[in-house]
Amino acid sequence: MLLDDGAPVKLNVSLLGPAPVDKLEPHAQKEVVKGAAAVFGQGEEEEEGGIKKLKVPLVELDFSPAEGEKAKERLETIKQSVPHDKEALFKVKVGWDGLTDFEPTIKHRMVKYLGELEDDDLIMFVVEHLKDHKGPQKLVEGLEPVLEEEAQEFAINIWRQVIFESMACGEALQTERMTID
């Protein structure tokens, strides 16, 4: 193995590994048992066939759903805090760092808002717009030739979702495809 400066590094590797406890001298076996008790806490010693074994109580792990519930409650709070008003919504700063995969969200929004689409050009336009971190007013302007009067309402709908995911990411929460209605 070489380091950046080109100097070789010597490694000591043992293929034999540690000796099994039952092959050790009786006084060494006691030391291993004491060492294990020190590492794992107090346990009970049990002698089986001349070999002392240490029984260590299992630690019960708590996987209560309380953390998940707190995260869902926090997501609901964030969801309620996303502005509905166009002026206020378009002024919110987006944290783009945590936003990566826009396509499923955009596709879901388009189908929900416009119905089934024949081609994905409009979806790809919105996805590329978001990947390029362009603002919401530019999105409205880009959608107007296709959606006409509905462009602004649709852009607000998309932008609310972007803001929601950005705010959730800022608090290290996973939205898990939770949508804003």
Specify the pLDDT at position 23.
61
**What tokens appear for 171 in the block?**
């608090």
Question: What is the dihedral sign for C-alpha 103, 104, 109, 111?
Answer: positive
Q: Is residue 87 part of a domain?
A: yes
Please report, for the domain that includes residue 153, its CATH number.
Answer: 1.20.1390.10
Alpha helices in 22-172 (DSSP H): 26-40, 66-81, 86-91, 103-114, 121-131, 136-147, 150-170
CB 43 within 8 A of CB 53: no
User: 0.85 cut: is pTM over it?
Assistant: no
Whether residue 30 sits in one domain with residue 110: no
Residue 105 belongs to what domain range? 66-170
Out of 18-22, 48-52, 57-61, 158-162, pick the least confident. Answer: 18-22
- Check whether 145 has a pLDDT greater than 90: yes
pLDDT, tens digit (0-9, with 9 covering 90-100), for 22-58:
566 666 555 655 554 544 455 555 666 667 676 767 7
Looking at the chain, the whole-number percentage of residues with pLDDT higher than 90 is 30
